[in-house]
Structure 1
Amino acid sequence: MTVDDRFSRDFQEMRADRPVGARNEIVTGPVSDWATDFSHTEAEWAADPYAIQDELRERCPIARTERFGGGWLPTRYEDVASIAYDTERFSSRAIIMGNFRPPPELAPIGGSPPISSDPPFHHHARKLLLPAFTKNAVARREAATRAFCHSLIDALEGADVVDAAHDYAQHIPMRVIADMLGFPPEDGPRFRAFIEGVLEGVNLPPDERLARMDNLFDYLLAQIHDHVENPRDDLTTYLINVEFGGQKLQSSHVAGTMALLLIAGIDTTWSAIGASLWHLAKTPADRERLVADPGLLPTAMEELLRAYAPVTMARLVKEDMSWNGVDMKADDWILLSFPAANRDPAQFDRAGEVVIDREVNRHAAFGLGIHRCVGSHLARMELRVALEVWLERVPDFSLADPAAVTWASGQVRGPRTLPLRIG
């Protein structure tokens, strides 16, 4: 049997035998009380989660909801960190809180290793990816990333108002991840559809969500076929050929990791770039300071990551237990809001302010514990280069219409439309 035949057969078996997990009713609509009925999918949360999280931290630091089959939302840094580091009582087999849960038999691998993996499997799955994301490996991509950023701004020349999210921020990680995986760069619009289907469609009926996942995995299978027929020096070919415990990776492992890199690798950085540009557009003092002193950008970038951390991750409770004064049930969701942790005044001085010269800044924007983002060096490079090029080429910009800015709903938050006036 050829490698190509193995992947085709295994993908068919994955779909035929796919466990669907526990299905819950779709729950949308206005929140009655954020302490007892929270929902990260509502427009109010997408527009401004910080006021909600700050109020909860004071009144009810571990909020509860019956939506999505039941879940919890800790808002203090200490609680978020405690859960993130506790792999004995909390499982990562499901990282997207929605209306159905992947079944327990998916552990310890999960659907998108290593982010969905539990120990001890997680350690080995993560180790496979580390060579592609070292500082040296990332540095080799910087020149191409910078040139691409310049080309994007070249295309905006002459416009008085531009959508910095749609026409700039989203394209940068799309190109970088496509190059890493060896995917056609012109497939960027398809990547956006995959992201919206996986991360922003959590309230869709489970069958529809699975259909959207099938579209993603059909694409990945086509890319695997192409890489089997035409091997090259990229991450996809590496995953197809690498051995784990003396054997090639399972097809589900290869495809799940590719899906993780494609979805998370794009949306998180796209959101961070967009949120940073949004802040600088509405805060001329910070923008002017960075234009005058580009050397401050690395420090400012960390503060922007802290203040506008895009990522919230989910866990599942393994067994019934009492935890920090609340009674958790097996398979309850835990929504780990790293944005809430980053604005905890018990952890950060002036936590609700953006202080672009903050020197001590141990933020949690890239997560905490064993699942801390394996691509953090890559994300930092993309964010830094994107901001350096923008500030060099477009030093004077402001929000064209603050009310026209829209934000993604769900667990990765960033601007989806960001109209900026140039000059």
Structure 2
Amino acid sequence: MAVEDRFSRDFRETLSDRPLGTRNEVITGPVSDWATDFSHTEPEWAADPYPIQDDLRQRCPIAHTDRFGGGWLPTRYEDVSAIAYDTERFSSRAIIMSNFRPPRELAPIGGAPPISSDPPFHHDARKLLLPAFTKSAVARREQATRAFCHSLIDAMEGQDVVDAAHDYAQHIPVRVIADMLGFPPEDGPRFREFVENALEGVNRPPDERIQRMETLFDYLYAQIRDHVDNPRDDLTTYLMNAEIYGRKLEPSHVAGTMSLLLIAGIDTTWSAIGASLWHLAKTPADRERLVAEPGLLPTAMEELLRVYAPVTMARLVKEDMHWRGVDMKADDWILLSFPAANRDPAQFDRAGEVVIDREVNRHAAFGLGIHRCVGSHLARMELRVALEVWLERIPAFSLEDPSAVTWAPGQVRGPRTLPIRIR
């Protein structure tokens, strides 16, 4: 069977394994009580989830919902951390909370290794990626990233108002990841479409999700075929030649890892860049201080990552159990909110404030446990360079219309439209 045909079969089985039934019918619509009916896909969550999380942390630190077939939302740092480190009771075979679950047989590899992998396979799948994301490997990409950021700002010449999300933040990780994987840079608009389909389309009907994901994997397999015909020195070729347990990776493993890098590596970073620019545009004191003290930027950047952490991951409960006061059922979702953990006053002083010179900052923006982001060095470089270039070239800027800013719904939150006045 052709690789593409096998993937299509497996993917359809994944989505259809758990039929939509009474537990899965209610997905969208107004939330009656966030403690018993939460939904991270609702507009009010996308617009400003922090008051909701703060309220839950006080009165119901592990919220529940019957939506998505049943799930839980811990909001305390200690609970989020405990689940992230507990691979015995919580599985990573699905990391996007939606209205269906992949079959248990998909573990321990999952559809997008290593982020979807459980031990012991996870360790070996993650180890394969480490050489591409070391500090030294990332440093070699900084010059090109900086030049690209300058070119984006050059293109804004003569404009009084720009969309800092669409015209700046969203382009940077697209170019970096495309270069790493050896994909055509002109395919950037397609990457943004893939991101939206995977992360923001969780409430679409299963057949539509299947079709959209097949479009992504058709693209990835086309890139693999092109690399077979035209080998070059990039991450795709590396993955195609890599071995695990003495054998080359299965094509589905290669494509799954490519999908992880393409989707997670892009949306998380552009969201962090956009949120940081949004904060500086609305907070003149912080913006002016960073312009005057550029050496403070690495410290400020960590604080912006803490306060506006873009990523929430999902886990699945392995077996029925009583956990910290709640009765969890097998295959219940756990929405692992690193943004909520990062604003827990039991863990951080002045947790809800942005303190750009905060010295001790053990935030969870890149996750916790074995799945901590393998690309954190790359993301930090992109964020730092993006902010350095912007502040150097555009030291004075402000929000054109705060009400016009829109935020992505779902598990990766960042500005999707960000009108900024630069003149």
TM-score normalised by L of structure 1: 0.98
Q: Give the 5 Å matches for 1:236-385.
A: 236-385=236-385
Equivalent position to 1:13, from 6, 10, 20? 6
**How far 1:11 moved relative to its partner?**
2.0
Partner of 1:5: none
Q: Aligned equivalents of 1:362 and 1:14: distance in 2? A: 40
Three-state SS of the structure 1 residue aligned to 2:239 is helix
**How far 1:26 moved relative to its partner?**
5.4
Query: Letter of the aligned partner of 1:273 in structure 2?
Result: I
Q: Aligned equivalents of 1:266 and 1:16: distance in 2? A: 27
Three-state SS of the structure 2 residue aligned to 1:309 is coil
Partner of 2:152: 152
Q: Aligned equivalents of 2:201 and 2:419: distance in 1? A: 25
Q: Aligned equivalents of 1:330 and 1:109: distance in 2? A: 19
Runs of 4+ in 1 over 6 A off after TM superposition: none
Q: Deviations over 1:228-279 (max 9, x none)?
A: 0000000000111111111110111000000000000000000000000000
Where does structure 2 lack aligned partners over 5 or more consecutive residues? none
**How far 1:416 moved relative to its partner?**
0.2
Query: Letter of the aligned partner of 1:297 in structure 2?
Result: L
Q: Are residues 1:64 and 2:64 paired?
A: yes
Q: Aligned equivalents of 1:116 and 1:281: distance in 2? A: 36
**How far 1:17 moved relative to its partner?**
4.2
Where does structure 1 lack aligned partners over 5 or more consecutive residues? 1-7
Three-state SS of the structure 2 residue aligned to 1:186 is helix
Q: Deviations over 1:274-310 (max 9, x none)?
A: 0000000000000000000000000000000000000
**8 Å contact kept, 2:398–2:421:** yes
Aligned sequence identity (%): 84
* Stretch deviating more after TM superposition (263-272 or 242-251): 242-251
Q: Aligned equivalents of 1:193 and 1:138: distance in 2? A: 26
Partner of 1:4: none
Q: Deviations over 1:108-136 (max 9, x none)?
A: 00000000000000000000000000000
Q: Aligned equivalents of 1:40 and 1:318: distance in 2? A: 22
Q: Aligned equivalents of 1:293 and 1:365: distance in 2? A: 24
Q: Give the 5 Å matches for 1:127-206.
A: 127-206=127-206
Partner of 2:413: 413
Three-state SS of the structure 1 residue aligned to 2:398 is strand
Query: Letter of the aligned partner of 2:5 in structure 1?
Result: Q
Q: Give the 5 Å matches for 1:87-102.
A: 87-102=87-102
Three-state SS of the structure 1 residue aligned to 2:2 is helix
TM-score normalised by L of structure 2: 0.98
**8 Å contact kept, 1:26–1:205:** no
Three-state SS of the structure 2 residue aligned to 1:72 is strand
Q: Aligned equivalents of 1:27 and 1:175: distance in 2? A: 35
Partner of 2:233: 233
Q: Aligned equivalents of 1:313 and 1:275: distance in 2? A: 19
Three-state SS of the structure 1 residue aligned to 2:117 is coil
**8 Å contact kept, 2:26–2:66:** no
